[in-house]
Amino acid sequence: MDTTAQASPETLRARMVDRILATQRLTPAVEDALRRVERHCYVPDAPLVDAYAEKAVITHTFHDGTHLSCASGPTIVAAMLDALDVRPGQRILEIGAGTGYNAAILATLVGVDGQVTTVDINSDVTAAARRNLTATGFPQVRVLTGDGAADAADHAPYDRIIITVGAWDIPYAWWEQFVPDGRLVLPLRWRGTTRAVALTRNGDHWKSDWVFLCGFVPMLGQPGEQKTILDPDGLVALHHDMDQPIDVDTLHGVLEREKSLLWSDVTVHGEEPFDRIWLRLSAVDDGTVRIEADQRAVASGLCTPAIASRSPALVKGDSLAYFTIRRTATPGRWQLGAIGHGPDGHQLAARIIGQINVWDRNRTADPELLVFPTGVPLPDSTGGKMILKSGNRLILRY
């Protein structure tokens, strides 16, 4: 008999932490903080079971229905906090106040000698976070309303900065607010995919030592990604970065052009992640983008990406190829492939197959990321794929 609905908050919280520990290691300090801070008190309008389930709880939305703020799923919260490596007595800046839950855990980690400042651009979000933090015994957390890239500078320098909204770039203001050995954890977006990344200062640049799949509400005021509709009915779109030389006019109607279908010899079982294929593509091919297909496009066969809402694709001129999958004769297993359209569609699909094969040789490898501010010279020995941001150059290398 399922007793989840009747379980106490303490029982549900213990189950939540045990579930997280089944998939990843946590430091004793982070585990203890997760067991102590009452997550349900930060999402009072959500059912108790939802507060501790492995799901994001939406707390604020725009008038058009898009999400403004939410309580992120417990696993990504725990993973990012663990990667942040918070120590007692440190000064912490959080950008993206959310419900206040993350700030409460940070305050628990830094202890009475530390300081936590959380900033959000929306006053409704910060007002709710302030209420929640005060009600749960964390009045010492500083809650500010403003632009997280600049409005917390008066309380710098910080030992750690954590970003809990999706960032397309890293404002230089964050660099200036750090101690020399500071550590930054954020959801960073490039080539249509988002990864939580832990970065440390390494002289005049940032260097990663941790990469984790995630999804976050995007940060306001960072326009870096563009959207192009491919078909007359608006059912299929590409999401691409502003530094990519994509001729959007030549891509209209591309799905009606000659089609190539290629299959690799690589298969996965139904629960096995294959998101690192996207990372591989972004680290070698400047044409890497995200394709998004409405279910009506999938049902009609117009466009059938592996995951309809978000799959990697490659673009070159008037041609396109995207990642796809199909069931195999073996129950529970799927074959990985690519579909191309246009005169270069077959070549682009073959490139995707090539990176599927590279991924297959080491399915858990993540790239190292280097972030150099614009104007900082790159060492001659710097290798890897460069991606241009507004104020930085992102280098990916394996």
The DSSP call for residue 302 is S
The rounded distance, in Å, linking the Cα atoms of 351 and 277 is 11
Could you say which of 8, 69, 123, 390 is catalytic? 69
The rounded distance, in Å, linking the Cα atoms of 164 and 98 is 8
Q: Is there a catalytic annotation at residue 123?
A: no
Q: 292-306 burial by CB neighbour count: b if 16+ within 10 A, else e?
A: bbbeebeeeebbbbb
Residue type, 145: T
Q: How many CB atoms lie within 10 A of CB 342?
A: 25
Helix (H) or strand (E) holding 135: helix 123-135
Nearest to 92 by CA among 77, 78, 105: 105
Nearest to 74 by CA among 29, 28, 108, 38: 38
| C-beta of residue 342 within 8 angstroms of C-beta of residue 258 | yes
The rounded distance, in Å, linking the Cα atoms of 120 and 143 is 8
- Residue where the block lists tokens 């919260």: 77
The residues annotated with a catalytic role in the active site are 69
